[in-house]
Amino acid sequence: MSSDDAHDARGAPTMSGPLLSLRIVQLTTDDLGTPLSEATFVIVDLETTGGSPKDGGITEIGAVKVRGGEIIGELATLVNPGQPIPAFIAALTGITDPMVASAPLVAPVLASFLEFLADATLVAHNAPYDVGFLKGACAKADLAWPQARVLDTARIARTAMLRDEVPNCRLETLARHFGTRVQPTHRALDDARATVEVFHALLERLGGLGVQSLEDLQAFTGRVNPVQRAKRTLAEGLPHAPGVYVFRDPQGQPLYIGTSSDIARRVRTYFTASETRRRMTEMVRIAQRVDAITCMTRLEAQVREIRLIAQHQPRYNRRGRRPGSHAWLRVQTTTGLEVRIVQRIAPSILDDLGGPEESTRHLGPWSSKTAAEPARQALVWVLGQNPSAVAKLITLDADECSELLLDHIQQLSALGQYEAAAQWRDGLNEVLTGLQRTARLQALARTAEVIAVRPVTQNGEGQVGWEAHCIRFGSLAGAAQLPAPRERGGWTRALDALRGCSAHVVQPAPGALTCAPAEAEVVARWLELPGVRLAASTAPLAWPAHSGGQLLARLAQVRRQASGGESKPLGPVGGVPTRIRRPASPLVAAPRPVLAGSGR
Active site residues per annotation: 186
Cα(497)–Cα(2) distance, integer angstroms = 22
DSSP-derived pairing of the beta strands 243-248 and 254-260: antiparallel
Q: By CB neighbour count within 10 A (0-12 exposed, 13-18 middle, 19+ buried), where does 469 fall?
A: buried
DSSP state of 55: T
Cβ atoms of residues 367 and 521 within 8 Å: no
DSSP-derived pairing of the beta strands 463-472 and 450-457: antiparallel
Cβ atoms of residues 19 and 303 within 8 Å: yes
Is the four-CA dihedral 244, 247, 248, 254 of positive or negative sign? negative
DSSP-derived pairing of the beta strands 20-23 and 475-482: parallel
| Nearest-10 Cα torsion for 567, 570, 575, 577 | -150
Query: How many angstroms separate the Cα of 309 from the Cα of each of 35, 116, 241, 246, 318?
Result: 32, 40, 20, 10, 10
Cα(486)–Cα(464) distance, integer angstroms = 13
- Reply yes or no: is the peptide bond before residue 365 cis, omega within 30 of 0: yes
Cα(524)–Cα(528) distance, integer angstroms = 6
